[in-house]
Amino acid sequence: MIVNCSGESLVLSKERAIYWEREHMLIISDLHIGKSAHFRKSGIQVPDTVGTTDLQRLSSLLEEFKPKILLVTGDMFHNKINSDALAFSVWRKNFPELSVILIKGNHDALKNSDYADLNIEVHQKELLCKPFRFIHDKPTVFDEYYNISGHIHPGVAIYGKAKQQLKFPCFYFGEHCSVLPAFSVFTGLKMLKPEEGDRFYAITPGKVIQV
Amino acid sequence: MGIETSKGYKQVIKWLKLSRKKPFKFQTDAWQYYAEGYSGLVNAPTGFGKTFSIFLAVIIDELNTRADLEKIKPAKKTTGSKKKKPEGLKLIWITPLRSLAKDLARAMTEVCAQLELDWHVGVRNGDTTQNEKLKQKKQMPEVLIITPESIHLLLAQKSTFNYFEQLQCIVADEWHELLGSKRGVMTELAISRIKGLINEKNPERLLRIWGISATIGNMEQAMDVLVPYEDLLKTIIRSDIEKKIVIKSILPDHIDMLPWAGHLGFKLADKLLPIIRKSKTTLIFTNTRGQAEMWYQTLLAKDGNLAGLLAIHHGSIDFELRNWIEDSIHTGALKAVVSTSSLDLGVDFKPVDTVVQIGSPKGVARFLQRAGRSGHSPYETSKIYFLPTHALELVEAAAIKEAARTQDIESREPVVMAFDTLIQYLVTLAVGDGFDDEKIFFEVKQTHAFRELLPQEWNWIMQFITTGGDSLTAYNEFSKVTKVDGLWKVESRQIAMRHRLHIGTIVSDAMIKVKYISGGFVGMVEESFIARIKPGNSFTLAGRVLEFIMIKDMMALVRKSKLKQAISPSWMGGRISLTANLGSILRKKYNETLDKAHDDEELDIIFPLFERQAKVSHVPKSDEFLIELIHTRDGYHFFAYPFEGRQVHEIMASLIAYRLGRIKPISFSIAMNDYGFELLSEQEIPLDEENIKDLFTPKNLSEDIVASINATEMARRKFRDIACISGLVFQGYPGKYIANKHLQSSAALFFNVFSDYDKHNLLLRQAYDEAFYQQIEEPRLAAALHRIQASKVIIVKAQSYTPLCFPIKVDSLRDTLSSEELSQRIERMTAEAEKRNVKKNKYQKE
């Protein structure tokens, strides 16, 4: 699905990513690499496949759109370097040409040297790239930039007859700010309540649909 | 050899005589069997000293042992003046409720003091202070009153094996309560370990296991679950005394006073007041917390004199407040208490002489248990009033009376193959002293719950806690239970701590504490409820109208509201389904009503309504199966009346809808209650005398169920508890932050992850099994279909809603309409049906 946002055309992929063609930029958020390993280390059984699936999905996105830049709006890593993060570093070597930019989120707590080793460009707070501001959590004051953020793992409910209700991860586009769905499959959803002027794009198993 | 000649027996009898008491036969039986080394189950009505049957048996045994010792070493001169060193635990007393422990300990301590036995009675549960626990660690009391959860916590400590060296007996009190739940499985597992520990040290030592239970349908099985061991002698001791119970319905003056469909029963509130007034203390049982709140308000509004003398008690009210209410019942300071199942069990409240049940109790056992809350002393009569909330409940009252008379009481099905509980138990042991997997497998296999456990299932469970899962799925870096010096242990202190915090099998919805902004807790409400309330709005809790201010530190801050009335929180859970027993008696009562072959006053009152039903449709006899087809503005209604309870009807309704859908494409909206179900469609339903039996055939039942219901959705719901119990999801406690933000997740997420990546996960299988056997109750559904096949099908095309179908019709509205509009709509619909009847009658007369 292609949407128009602040005069720019953005592709919304059902693999929970935005492709900004003009800048050859693939934008994702809340990758949470290492989350499953962190759980395993703490004695909670989460299969490895969860992490590897995320990386495979990312690979196929890169093949589909062939971007020059991969931008992650925060929460790329979950806590510390662990086996999942090592799997990422192997994966990273397959795409030496790709520049990876991270805007730090609340979970990103790797050492600076770790980011350097992984060849990731880190921005502490935000990245301005007209007309957008990329930032982990949406700011409280708004200016001329349109904010693209992540952090909350947005979800939306679709209601049917007979009290049926289905929940999906979604892209949210509001007046000043849009929110990306969490990229990782091992994440929960925060259900959003629609307000006037909001646009929601639900990610159903088959495709992205506007709600 | 009789026990009568022993020293201990004589001592106890002498002591009883002092207070002019004589033991009941079942008590002396219990003492005799205990002395002979038996284990078993004691079954006696409440108020006859079930506790003393076993407790005094242990005391007599101790007194005799001491007497024997003195014979061998006749008053050997003790060199020091030191007192004899305490020997440690002799008796473990498991109770399901914390509130029971306090009173039990008081009674037991008194007995020991009066018999001059130097025993200490200790209590250990969630309310026990850290200080007290430390004292117990240094020196265990001789008697320990404990909950199943706290025993597991004890096993999660280091060097627990020392505690049980002198243990003589484990008692499971109120075993019928524990039996049907995973807490029962916890009890089974704890006993297997303690027995194993004793056996390791001293294979000759005898450990007795006794249960105390109210009457249930499967007493033999209840004993086998508690005492599955072949090396133990066992017996059931039943008292021959019958508890006298008087059941009386609060009847309307005329049947038209009662609505046709489920209201809250306020119409009869005026008839309840005189009963409260003439009784010393009355317990008023309701089925839901919301209903309790509303009755509390109603009674206060009706009689201002009750202010200060009426209290409300349910599970969501703050612990301290509940304690205060319980104490006030003891002292007789309260005239009446409105309560939910929170007061079902336990301690005898002496002043309580009257019990009132509002609405259908849905089961015989529950009703009798509640009745037993009054007239607690031996030979006193328990008195219970039944207050119907709608007309048809009068028949239920008659059915319950009959069941009570014939002692036709439900069985409690023990839980088996609860892998989640087993996983939790194994980690508990690993957190404690560690375990030997071969030894524990042997012990676990002996319990009733895991009798059918296969070696490969055991292996999977071991993998799950040691490597994360079977080798087909990788679990890198997983660490939880590891082998150290030949024993499986948890080494990480963090994991151990987290595990200890969530031992238990009771999983509640996320609850949030409610606190006055000026200080003082009121109780708890569900987080989802408070999320819907805006600051400034009011709600009722614990009988108070509260204005919501804000959420702070995971607590809802409130102040007293000036409003008189406000919305009540709806707590989840609520709807209990009619049991199979009651269903079948109910069918019989329908027979008797029209024939007048009965002497139930309830059935006389409801007779006019049955006449009306017979006129517009038909009253089903117990060998008949009634179907009503009604065409209204809403569409084509199909009503069926199997009388099997809401839960069975829910599945049966979707099954029939699915089978009808195979005849022609058609969509339905479904509604049900305890008597029957409704399918409603815009188009005509393809149904006639010919195909009706095919629709209700038990053939291909399993396949059709799977196709007709969303089994995945049901399993997902069941998985919520399983994920918590097995330690995948940590819930935290109400009002406390979840300790580790990095480890937050939800059961639904795990359900998806396992479904996608680890299909062989046994916990997934357990979720589907639980859905099929507990939710879907396939065996019961099959039995119902067989019965329908054998009965005569009667199809009636009715002109308007009949008295029988009306409650179902209304129930279906409940989902879409708010309660105010609902009552209006019910009124209107009753009037409509009425009007049509009048018209019809006129027409016939003319």
* Of the candidates B519, B522, B129, B147, the residue with the CA atom closest to the CA atom of residue B324: B522
Q: How far apart are CA A104 and CA B583, in angstroms?
A: 62
Residue type, B164: F
Residue with tokens 């055309």: A9
Contacts 24+ apart (CB under 8 A), B739-744: B739/B498, B739/B501, B740/A42, B740/B498, B742/A35, B742/A38, B742/A78, B742/A79, B742/A107, B743/A38, B743/A39, B743/A42, B743/A44, B744/A188
List, for residues B223-258, the tens digit of each pLDDT value.
999 999 999 999 999 988 777 888 999 998 888 888
Tell me the mean pLDDT in the region B366-395. 85
Q: Which of A41, A43, A186 sits opposite B753 (nearest CB)?
A: A186
The residue that leads in pLDDT, B162 or B682, is B162
Q: Which of A42, A47, A53 sits opposite B743 (nearest CB)?
A: A42
Phi, then psi, of B385 in degrees rounded to 5: -105, 140
**Chain B contact present for A80, CB below 8 A:** no
Which residues 659-678 on chain B approach chain A with CB closer than 8 angstroms?
A: 669
Beta B91-94 vs B169-172: how paired, if at all? parallel
Give B-chain residues touching A186 at CB under 8 angstroms: 745, 749, 753
**Chain B contact present for A109, CB below 8 A:** no
Classify domain A2-210 by CATH architecture.
Answer: 4-Layer Sandwich (3.60)
Residue type, B84: K
pLDDT interval class at B125 (50, 70, 90): confident
**Which DSSP letter does residue B119 get?**
-
Summary mean pLDDT of chain B: 84
Predicted pLDDT at B731: 65
Find the residue in A nearest to B680 (Cα).
A162
Compute how many other C-beta atoms are within 10 angstroms of the C-beta atom of residue A122. Answer: 16
The two three-digit tokens of residue B422, written as one number: 């087993």
List, for residues B190-206, the tens digit of each pLDDT value.
999 999 999 998 888 99
* Angle between helical axes of B455-466 and B762-770 (0-180°, round to 10): 120
Secondary structure of B713-730 in HEC code, one letter for each residue: HHHHHHHHHHHHHCCCCC
Give A-chain residues touching B754 at CB under 8 angstroms: 47
The two three-digit tokens of residue B329, written as one number: 């019942």
Q: How far apart are CA B119 and CA B457, in angstroms?
A: 44
List, for residues B478-487, the tens digit of each pLDDT value.
889 999 999 9
Q: What angle do CA B369, B373, B375 make, to 5 degrees?
A: 125
**Chain B contact present for A49, CB below 8 A:** yes
E strands, B493-588, are: 511-516, 521-526, 538-541, 544-552, 555-560
Predicted pLDDT at A157: 79
Contacts 24+ apart (CB under 8 A), B634-638: B634/B680, B635/B680, B635/B681, B635/B682, B635/B683, B636/B680, B636/B681, B636/B682, B636/B683, B636/B684, B636/B685, B637/B678, B637/B679, B637/B680, B637/B805, B637/B809, B638/B678, B638/B679, B638/B680, B638/B681, B638/B685, B638/B687
The two three-digit tokens of residue A29, written as one number: 């958020």
- C-beta atoms of A83 and B476 within 8 A: yes
pLDDT interval class at B335 (50, 70, 90): very high
Q: B383 near B248, Cβ under 8 Å?
A: yes
Would you list the domain boundaries of chain A? 2-210
| Domains with residue ranges and CATH for chain B | 3-77+84-238 (3.40.50.300), 245-406 (3.40.50.300), 419-505+712-775 (no CATH), 511-560 (no CATH), 580-707+778-845 (no CATH)
Predicted pLDDT at B575: 53
Tell me the mean pLDDT in the region A146-158. 89
- The β-bridge partners of B124 are B146
Predicted pLDDT at B41: 96
Predicted pLDDT at B62: 93
List, for residues B752-775, the tens digit of each pLDDT value.
888 888 888 999 999 988 888 877
ipTM of the modeled complex: 0.84
List, for residues A92-132, the tens digit of each pLDDT value.
999 999 999 999 988 888 888 889 988 999 999 899 988 99
Element containing residue A125 per DSSP (H, E): none
Tell me the mean pLDDT in the region B43-56. 84
Q: How far apart are CA A29 and CA A71, in angstroms?
A: 8
Q: How far apart are CA B657 and CA B679, in angstroms?
A: 7
Q: How far apart are CA B90 and CA B110, in angstroms?
A: 17
Predicted pLDDT at B573: 43
Give A-chain residues touching B431 at CB under 8 angstroms: none
Q: B41 near B219, Cβ under 8 Å?
A: yes
- Count of alpha carbons within 13 angstroms of residue B32, beta-carbon side: 15
Residue type, A172: Y
Cα–Cα distances in angstroms (integers) from residue B451 to residues B177, B214, B225, B229, B512, in the given order: 21, 25, 10, 11, 39
* Of the candidates B108, B91, B105, the residue with the CA atom closest to the CA atom of residue B194: B91
Which of B463, B466, B471, B477 is best to mutate for the A interface (most A CBs within 10 A)? B477
Report the range of poorest mean pLDDT among B11-15, B172-176, B468-472, B704-708: B468-472
Give A-chain residues touching B492 at CB under 8 angstroms: 42-43
Q: How far apart are CA A74 and CA A149, in angstroms?
A: 8
Residue with tokens 């959705």: B713
The two three-digit tokens of residue B768, written as one number: 């589907």
Q: Which of B477, B669, B744 sits opposite A41 (nearest CB)?
A: B477
List, for residues B547-599, the tens digit of each pLDDT value.
988 877 778 889 988 877 677 665 544 456 778 788 888 888 888 888 887 88
Give A-chain residues touching B469 at CB under 8 angstroms: 45, 47
Question: Does position B148 have pLDDT exceeding 60, yes or no?
Answer: yes
List, for residues B87-115, the tens digit of each pLDDT value.
789 999 999 877 778 888 988 999 999 99
pTM of this structure: 0.83
Residue with tokens 């101790």: B62
Predicted pLDDT at B78: 46
The two three-digit tokens of residue A42, written as one number: 């703490």
Question: Does position B538 have pLDDT exceeding 80, yes or no?
Answer: yes
